[in-house]
Amino acid sequence: MSCLFCKMVDGDIPVDKVYEDDQVLAFRDINPLGPVHIQVIPKKHLASLNDASEEDQALLGKMLLMAKKLAADEGIAEGGYRLVMNTNSQGGQAVYHLHCHLIGGRQMQWPPG
């Protein structure tokens, strides 16, 4: 498979891992948009949120709760943080493996893009 994030899940590409279990992997972004920028991805390959189904409901919830926990662990929960999930090209998705950006540690601006 040529999916960049699947290669990270398989250990073929090293990552700065902050969390891993049997369903989810979280790692620091190599081009951070803030003092804290962590990618939270499912180990199951889903190209985008459009590919998720009812059977993925618990996995999607786990990703969000993991982002919440990581925000607390990184010390940014109290001040606030942003979660971003881009879907397809007009949504800004660059890697076609579902992922959630956890960004914080600075004041976020609105609108984002």
- pLDDT above 90 coverage of the chain, percent: 95
Structural domain count of the chain: 1
What tens digit of pLDDT does each residue of 49-76 get? 999 999 999 999 999 999 999 999 999 9
Distances (CA, A) of 8 to 21, 26, 44, 76, 97: 14, 10, 12, 26, 11
Q: Is residue 106 part of a domain?
A: no
Confidence of residue 112 (pLDDT cuts 50, 70, 90): confident
Q: Is residue 92 part of a domain?
A: no
Predicted confidence (pLDDT) at residue 1 exceeds the cutoff of 80: no
Q: Is residue 84 part of a domain?
A: no
Q: Is residue 61 part of a domain?
A: yes
Mean pLDDT of 3-25: 96
Which residues are known to be catalytic? 99
Best CA proximity match to 25, nearest among 98, 94, 83, 78: 98
CATH of the domain at 56: 3.30.428.10
Q: Is residue 86 part of a domain?
A: no
3-state DSSP: the chain helix, strand, coil percent, rounded to 5? 30, 20, 50
Predicted confidence (pLDDT) at residue 2 exceeds the cutoff of 90: no
Which structural domain, as residue segments, surrounds residue 23? Answer: 4-79
